[in-house]
Structure 1
Amino acid sequence: MKMRHISMTPFGRQPVTAGLLATQALAEAPAPDHAPDKWAVLRDLTTARAAYGISDRDLAVLAALLSFHPGKELADDDKLIVFPSNASLSDRAHGMAESTLRRHLAALVRAGLLLRRDSPNGKRYATRDLSGSLDRVFGFDLRPLLTRSAEIASAAQEARHVEFTKRRLRESAVIRLRDAGKLIQWGREQIAANWDALSDGCALLQRALRRKLDTGKLRELAERAQQLLDQVKAVIAPETEEMSGSDSETERHHQSSDKEIHESEPCEEKQDRQSDHLAKDPPIPLGVLLKAAPDILDYAPDGIRTWRDLVGVSNFVYPMLGISPDAWRQAQDNMGHEIAAMTLACMLQRADTIMRPGGYLRSLTAKAVTSGFSPGPMVMALLRAENRQAL
């Protein structure tokens, strides 16, 4: 192990610094029990590079240096000192200029990831003893990577956790703003309110999402998106409650009418046909539908595991497509709740190509009444389109 103690001072006019002494101490620290994979250490360092203040170009130079180290693992021996010439290192770094190499090597030394073992004249080389074995090696010592491998792995794990949190916060903000935007679009056609202010607020937050934000800013943005969505829901709540009341009254009226019809016993054939239709099982498994039309899942925070879940989500989504409560009720009455929900999921998936969703749903409802209707062909068409995109 004496090879590591050739020199701890830099060649030429470079002074000894506190950072250099700290790196020296790390290099001389006890090695871990196992020899880490050098490329795994490099991958972890790539993930955690912000914590060490190094760039991707610094890492490219480090990768070139690691390629001069024999073997795959960083064992605690004298092979940890590599001594390529500037020309050889430049070749491994894809032709990087020597002045640029020196700058990135200095950055790696300052970060405490490399240690210089300078010769008396500053050159990098190895000498052999009388038996032909390596006697002294002057170059770059990789031992800090060995002794700090566990620290680097921990920093990489923390960086991955931060990125995961940021990704989830961004997804949350995107979904809330999308919900707010669609509700605003629907509200403009249904309710008189200051939709311009809400729309401007939504657009402002959407523009902010385009920037690269840290965790704190993303969390703040997600909270503001939720506040905006709550404001939009507060505006449309009275209208939706009124619609629900009207629907309930209409439902009670239908129940009363059905009772009277049942007592006088006309139209029994129609009632039997509707009962048979409502009792039919969906023609396609739920998992296949969700694979063909996954956009409906964006509106189900707890997921869709049953047909009841799908029906519940569709009852929330249909106004966003511009479908009136009357058109939706007719679709459910004539298709059945599950079939209507399947149809809506397929329509949502193709929302950018359906000009008038309300009219389109009414035409499908009429088809269900007269000649029968199944959403199966719609699902199969979406699956074929997904397969073509995958190719």
Structure 2
Amino acid sequence: MTLGMLASQFATQDIEDGKSVDKWKLYRALCEARPLLGVTDRALAVMSALLSFYPKDELSETNGLVVFPSNAQLSLRSHGMTEQTIRRHVAVLVEAGLIVRKDSPNGKRYVRRSGGGVIDEAFGFSLAPLLARADEIEHLAAQVTAERLHLQRLRERLTLCRRDVSKLIEAAVEEGASGNWEMVTTHFRALVTAIPRTPTAIEVTTALDEMEMLREEIVNQLEMQIKTKNMNGNPFQNDRHIQNSNPESSSELEPSFEQKLGKIPEGEQVAPAATTDELKRVDHRTLGGAKPKNARGEQAHSMTPARMKAFPLALVLQACPEIIPYGSGGAISSWRDLMAAAVVVRSMLGVSPDAYQQACEILGPENAATVIACILERAGHINSAGGYLRDLTRRAEKGEFALGPMIMALARANGNSVRRVG
């Protein structure tokens, strides 16, 4: 006797009057809820044998709830289990609170009948706990079924996502799209290999999130290349800007990167390709003859993507060496390598594809990759890399941001002396 067994016996006293349930329907629910009840499949086989000795299809107190088969008959209906094995699995059913032993004075299982053949008292195994917990068992069975269907749908989504990624990589390689597709393929295979043979719902969800992120990266990279080709083929599209009406918050920006045009520290000079004077020169005809004003009433300057030229690659890598290991083979030798590495880094930093695409369109692909490299250098000091990038893009569109101070600050922080780059 244990406290659990005693609790099961108390539960049998709370059976509603007139309650009945189909024994085989309840047994099927019991099999479904087996993982949550902690019973084995062999124990359920013994339960099936015990239910077969119940004379009615409906379990109810009216018909009695005690079965009293002999060991020999119970062994036959349990597919030939030995008596020792049956006793072990009966103990599991008792411990799980599904049946209760009703022992006779001599420990035997038998029944006493009246003169008319009516059962007065029976000694054996009581199925009362099973009837008392019928609603609970059906609820657990429904829960297990729902979890199984959820897992099945997750696995289906993961399978479809895996196919999409495989086809996208194959298409990119066949079409000769720029990018380190060997590294992408290696990452894809690593994700597939990490999936367990029999994964849980949590493991499948994690794998699905990573696979969908990889698919989004590939689609975004291919889409950017297509849009870049279209923009290069139609010069009228260079004046189009995309502005997010609901930008991410960027309230905590690094102070050293907050310098606007006209506020470059004394003694520092930027490369001629991106000098302050160049950034301030604007064709006022594109503004309809009017100059917008800033918060202090001063005339502000606008800037198109064509005005912001890229800095020399050597200077960018000198100021931002942290991005070099993300290049193809752990090195960056061209702007294409830097832009491919920036796509990997922006995902690692949590920058959305939309924010990065907007930066490419406003700053240009090379400068957007340079900004990502700069953010990587100071990632530990920036809470929201995505919000930071959006803020810089928005300020660049208004002509209030230059790459020079940012690169010079990082070069100074890395101990490099940069006087002038030609």
TM-score (norm 2): 0.52
- Runs of 4+ with deviation above 4 angstroms: 242-249
Equivalent residue, structure 2, for 1:159? 144
- From 42, 54, 58, the equivalent of 2:27 is 42
- Is 1:64 aligned with 2:49? yes
Say whether 1:220 aligns with 2:214.
Answer: no
CA distance in 2, matches of 1:200, 1:121: 71
Structure 1: how far apart are the matches of 2:143 and 2:123?
35
Q: What's 2:342 paired with?
A: none
2:107 and 2:234 map into 1 onto residues whose CA distance is 89
| Structure 2 unaligned residues grouped into runs of 5+ | 236-422
Aligned residue runs from structure 1 range 308-319, under 5 A = none
8 Å Cα contact 1:47/1:160 also seen in 2:
yes
The letter for the 1-side match of 2:152 is R
Q: How far off is 1:146 after superposition?
A: 0.9
Amino acid at match of 1:240: I
2:183 alignment partner, one of 187, 197, 202: 197
Contact map agreement 2:114 2:120 (CA 8 A) in 1: yes
Q: Per the alignment, in what secondary structure is the counterpart of residue 74 of structure 1?
A: strand
Map of 1:236 onto structure 2: 222
1:136 Cα deviation from its structure 2 partner: 1.8
Code of the aligned partner of 2:60: A
Residues 113 and 142 in structure 1, CA contact (< 8 A), matched pair in contact too? yes
Q: CA deviation at 1:85?
A: 1.0
Moved more, 226-235 or 104-113: 226-235
Aligned to 1:100: 85
Give the structure 2 partner of residue 149 of structure 1: 134
1:179 touches 1:229 (CA, 8 Å); kept in 2?
Answer: yes
Contact 1:74–1:146 (8 Å) recurs in 2: yes
Q: Which residue identity does 1:37 align to in structure 2?
A: D
Contact 2:15–2:131, Cα closer than 8 Å, also in 1: no
Q: Which amino acid aligns with 1:48?
A: A
Q: Report if the CA contact (8 A) 2:18-2:60 is conserved.
A: no
Residue in 1 that maps onto 2:61 = 76
Matches within 5 A, 1:367-386: none
Q: Distance in 2 between matches of 1:206 and 1:94?
A: 42
Q: 1:29 aligns with which of 11, 14, 25?
A: 14
Instruction: Give the match's secondary structure for 1:36.
Output: strand
The residue type paired with residue 153 of structure 1 is E
Aligned residues: 234
| Aligned equivalents of 1:71, 1:207: Cα separation in 2 | 53
The CA distance in 2 between the partners of 1:85 and 1:240, in whole Å, is: 79
| Aligned CA distance change for structure 1 residues 106 and 234 (closer, same or farther; 3 Å) | same
Distance 1:247 1:35, change over 3 A: farther
CA displacement, residues 55-78 of structure 1 (integer Å, 9 cap, x when unaligned):
211111111110000111111235
Match of 1:311? none
**Residue 126 of structure 1 contacts residue 134 of structure 1 at CA under 8 Å; is this kept in 2?**
yes
Pick aligned residue for 1:117 from 102, 113, 117: 102
Q: Is the 1:27–1:115 contact (alpha carbons within 8 Å) kept by the matching residues of 2?
A: no
Match of 1:4 in 2: none
Deviation at 1:155, TM superposition (A): 0.8
Change (3 A) 1:233 1:33: farther
Q: Provide structure 1 residue ranges, at least 5 long, that are not aligned to the other structure.
A: 1-15, 250-391
Name the SS for the 1:188 alignment partner.
Answer: helix
Amino acid in structure 2 at the alignment position of 1:236 = L
Deviations 1:329-387 (A, max 9, x none): xxxxxxxxxxxxxxxxxxxxxxxxxxxxxxxxxxxxxxxxxxxxxxxxxxxxxxxxxxx
Deviation at 1:239, TM superposition (A): 3.1
Deviation at 1:248, TM superposition (A): 9.6
Take 2:135 and 2:17, find their aligned partners in 1: how far apart are those partners? 8
Q: Which letter does structure 1 place at the counterpart of 2:10?
A: A
Cα displacement string for residues 230-254 of structure 1 (whole angstroms, at most 9, x for unaligned residues)? 12223322333357679999xxxxx
Between structures 1 and 2, the one with greater helix share: 1
Do the aligned partners of 1:38 and 1:66 also contact (CA within 8 Å) in 2? Answer: yes
How far did 1:39 drift? 0.6
Shift of 1:86: 1.3
